[in-house]
């Protein structure tokens, strides 16, 4: 039975290698994924690719899910099967692509880890701004936590983007959408200290806010490494990276205010459901906000 299925898989992999010129690593991934569907067909006495329908594929994905395979892995496998069936249609072996009608089980929405207020205070207050690098890094971390910027947003900041008078920063986020974020007083002070230190180096023509000691714009990878360095130096067990500082900003703002809509605007999320996933406030706090705010949620006295 497998002899009627496997030759077409081999032909497809050969096509990927010689016509599409995909990497050996990618082809091995396809080979592994398509082997699983071949094995499934063999166990279920499906002897031709034309006999595999959407119902059979749904049973296959359910089988994988029960085995503990992640939703992302199942989705990747379905993508491989989808591409394979497009090839079979091109070869006129099948008339339709059953994988187009099948979706992977929804993944659980995992909350990103965050830093609590004490950890943030330890990270920021104990980063002594006594050198060029330390002063710059302190300003970077203060700005991440103060304004909830994305890594790419912070790395691309120019001097003209910061309004010291009104304590604002202008950023261009995903989809080239502009937004204005408030900057806290401690972040403003850290930025001013950094620019004073930076001016001493004489790099007046560099428009970037954050630069290296050679006067070049500081890249995203370097920013990640610097935050990791300070996290380890302050003895924070979990890895410290820009996403965690942005998440800490969002979490602490939402825990204090309960205003999901405002936090959505500050983060630059186009969909509020993204903010709901991104932040984590315990349900009791949300329920308390709801009970106190909704006109038809307040409990009546008997």
What integer is the mean pLDDT of 135-149? 95
Contact 217, 114 (CB under 8 A): no
Mean pLDDT over residues 241-263, rounded?
A: 84
Domain with CATH 1.10.443.10 in the chain: 117-291
Most confident option among 111-115, 147-151, 289-293: 147-151
Query: Helix and strand tally (H, E) in the chain?
Result: 13, 3
| pLDDT surpasses 90 at 195 | yes
The three state secondary structure string of 91-156 is CCCCCCCHHHHCCCCCCCCCCCCCCCHHHHHHHHHCCCCCCHHHHHHHHHHHHHHHHCCCHHHHHC
Those residues with Cβ within 8 angstroms of residue 224's Cβ, 6 or more apart along the chain or in another chain: 151, 241, 242
Task: Average the pLDDT over 261-278 and give the result.
Answer: 77
Which of 195, 225, 224, 227 has the alpha carbon at shortest distance from 211?
Answer: 195
Q: Which position has the token pair 């001097």? A: 159
Question: Could you tell me where in the chain the CATH 1.10.150.130 domains are found?
Answer: 2-101
Q: What is the pLDDT of residue 256?
A: 77
CATH superfamily for 117-291 is Intergrase catalytic core (1.10.443.10)
Distance, in Å, from the CA atom of 187 to the CA atom of 101, rounded to the nearest integer, reads 51
75, 77, 79, 106, 175 from 33: Cα distances, Å: 11, 5, 10, 19, 34
Query: 234 or 224: whose pLDDT is higher?
Result: 224
Mean pLDDT for the stretch of residues 141-169: 95
pLDDT, position 222:
96
pLDDT band with cut points at 50, 70 and 90 for residue 210: very high
Least confident of 109-113, 139-143, 200-204: 109-113
Q: Active-site residues: which are they?
A: 150, 174, 243, 246, 269, 278
2 or 22, greater pLDDT: 22
Which residues are paired to 171 by β-bridges? 179
| Range from 6-20, 115-129, 145-159, 197-211 carrying the lowest mean pLDDT | 115-129
Return the percentage of the chain with pLDDT > 90, whole number. 48
Q: What is the DSSP string of 216-281?
A: PBPPHHHHHHHHHHHHHHTT-SSPP-HHHHHHHHHHHHHHHH--HHHHHHHHT-SSHHHHHHH---
Residue 278 pLDDT > 70, yes or no?
A: no
Say which CATH topology domain 2-101 has.
DNA polymerase; domain 1 (1.10.150)
CA distances from 16 to 13, 52, 93, 225 (A): 5, 22, 18, 37
Residue 28 in this model has a pLDDT that exceeds 50: yes
Q: pLDDT tens for residues 45-93? A: 898 999 999 998 988 888 888 888 888 888 888 999 999 999 999 999 9
pLDDT value of residue 224: 96
Structure tokens at 40: 């499934």
**Angle at CA of residue 266, ends 260 and 272, nearest 5°:** 40
277, pLDDT greater than 70: no
pLDDT of 144 higher than 80: yes
Given a cut of 50, whether residue 302 has pLDDT beyond it is: no
- What pLDDT shows up at residue 279? 55
37 and 60 Cβ atoms separated by less than 8 Å: yes
Return the minimum-mean-pLDDT range out of 12-21, 24-33, 154-163, 171-180. 171-180
> Does residue 280 or residue 26 have the better pLDDT?
26
What is the Cα 224 distance to its own chain's centre?
14
Q: Read off the pLDDT of residues 87-129 as tens digits, 9 standing for 90 and up.
A: 999 999 999 999 888 887 766 555 556 788 888 998 898 888 8
The strand pair at 168-172 and 162-163 is best described as antiparallel
pLDDT on residue 1: 44
Contact yes or no for 192/164 (Cβ under 8 A): yes
């Amino acid at each position: 039975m497998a002899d009627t299925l496997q030759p077409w898989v081999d032909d497809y992999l050969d096509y990927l290698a010689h016509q599409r010129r995909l990497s050996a690593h990618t082809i091995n991934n396809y080979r592994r994924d398509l082997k699983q569907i071949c094995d499934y067909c063999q166990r279920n006495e499906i002897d031709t690719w034309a006999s595999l329908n959407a119902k059979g594929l749904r049973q296959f994905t359910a089988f994988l899910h029960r085995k503990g395979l992640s939703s992302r892995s199942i989705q990747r496998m379905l993508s491989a099967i989808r591409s394979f069936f497009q090839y079979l249609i091109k070869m006129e072996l099948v008339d339709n692509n059953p994988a187009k009608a099948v979706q992977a089980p929804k993944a659980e929405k995992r909350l990103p880890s965050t830093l609590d207020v004490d950890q943030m205070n330890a990270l920021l207050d104990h980063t002594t701004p006594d050198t060029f690098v330390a002063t710059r890094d302190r300003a970077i971390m203060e700005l991440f936590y103060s304004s909830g910027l994305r890594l790419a947003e912070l790395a691309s900041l120019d001097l003209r983007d910061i309004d010291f008078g009104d304590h604002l920063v202008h950023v261009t986020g995903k989809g080239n959408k502009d937004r204005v974020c408030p900057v806290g007083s401690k972040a403003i002070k850290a930025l001013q200290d950094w620019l004073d230190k930076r001016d001493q180096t004489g790099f007046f023509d560099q428009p970037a806010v954050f630069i290296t000691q050679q006067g070049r714009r500081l890249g995203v990878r370097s920013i990640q490494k610097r935050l990791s360095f300070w996290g380890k130096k302050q003895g924070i067990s979990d890895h410290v990276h820009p996403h965690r500082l942005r998440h800490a900003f969002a979490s602490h703002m939402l825990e204090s205010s309960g205003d999901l809509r405002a936090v959505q605007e500050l983060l630059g999320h186009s969909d509020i459901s993204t903010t709901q996933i991104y932040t984590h406030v315990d349900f009791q706090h949300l329920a308390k906000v709801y009970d106190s705010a909704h006109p038809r949620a307040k409990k009546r006295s008997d």
